[in-house]
Amino acid sequence: MNISVEIDARSGFCGGVIRAIEGAEKFLAEHPGEPLYSLGEIVHNEEELNRLSARGLKSISRLEEADATVLIRAHGEAPQTYQKAKRLGIPIKDFTCPVVLKLQESIRDAYSRVKTEGGAVVIFGRRGHAEILGLQGQTDGKAVVVESVEMMKEAVASGAVDVSRPIELFSQTTGSPSVYAAVQDYLGCVMSDRNLLKVHSTICSQVLSRHEQLSEFAFSHEVIIFVSGRQSSNGKVLFDLCRAVNSRSYLISSAEEVDPEWFRDGDRIGICGATSTPRWLLQEIASKILQLV
């Protein structure tokens, strides 16, 4: 079968994930035999987690599970996490993404402004996502989280968000630009005074540029193989974008999931992934495809 395979040059770890993983690897190399615990998965990619686990990184869900240094991943944490670590005497290695740190600070400042006026901080993002939990923590859990325009409408209808009071709107750093824009438009239409709405541009610039570039990449290939961990929020958003442009888009998390039935003679196959997908995995999948066909 005559095919071509191209790996998207822009796919792979974002800067924040690279910083956290390199920090973990450096710590483990400098402290042989000493455990390092990641509070939550350092990256939403099963293959990369297995690689780091072999080097000694252990994922935990609660600080109480640690008996040595704990790594704070790029997603960030709520202030309460740091307070608890201090009480428990647990050392922290903080690798929160600088973009997320700036967003946390902005949300704290916004909450201090609106709470005295009965207003609300609204965050667009996936409920329960690690980054969102850290962002909500900046408001003592009072921020309203919405995943869609429909959820925004429900929050307004229920009174959880009062459109006659000040509202400051933020997005998770990896949120969908198009859906965030739709949430903004809806609020702008229903606010009693448009001046009471303050919209913050908080989607990571790497994510914003990826959307336009990835649309072009998906359009220019007959088949798209999108590689992402099943728990990656960014992966879901980007895969949906690819599939909207190219119906022959397939989501996989490892080379073993590649199906030769997806390919036809003459196909140009594009391989791309989420900001949590390692470059080595994209290369491994490209090699597997070439072997199969």
Q: Which of 178, 270, 283, 276 is nearest to 226 (CA)?
A: 270
| pLDDT for residue 292 | 84
Q: Is the pLDDT assigned to residue 207 strictly greater than 90? A: no
**What is the per-residue pLDDT across 57-68, written as a single tens digit (0 to 9) for each?**
999 999 999 999
Strands of the sheet containing 57-60, edge to edge, are 57-60, 36-39, 70-72, 92-94
CA–CA gap between residue 104 and residue 122 (Å, rounded)? 13
Q: What is the pLDDT of residue 22?
A: 96
Residue among 131, 212, 216, 261 flagged as catalytic: 131
- Region 73-97 average pLDDT: 96
Tens digits of residue pLDDT in 115-139: 999 999 999 999 999 999 999 999 9
What mean pLDDT comes out for the span 160-188? Answer: 95
Instruction: Please classify residue 179 by burial: count the beta carbons closer than 10 Å to its beta carbon, then call 0-12 exposed, 13-18 middle and 19+ buried.
Output: middle
Distances (CA, A) of 124 to 33, 70, 156, 164, 224: 41, 28, 14, 20, 28
Residue 293 has pLDDT above 80, yes or no: no
Q: What is the reported pTM?
A: 0.87
Domains of the chain as residue ranges with CATH: 4-12+206-292 (3.40.1010.20), 15-97 (3.40.50.11270), 99-199 (3.40.1010.20)
Least confident of 173-177, 204-208, 223-227: 204-208
Q: Is 64 a catalytic residue?
A: no
Whether residue 176 has pLDDT greater than 80: yes
Mean pLDDT over the full length of the chain: 94
Contacts of 4 (CB under 8 A, 6+ apart): 267, 268, 269
Residues in a beta bridge with 171: 124
State the Cα–Cα distance between residues 88 and 95, nearest whole angstrom: 20
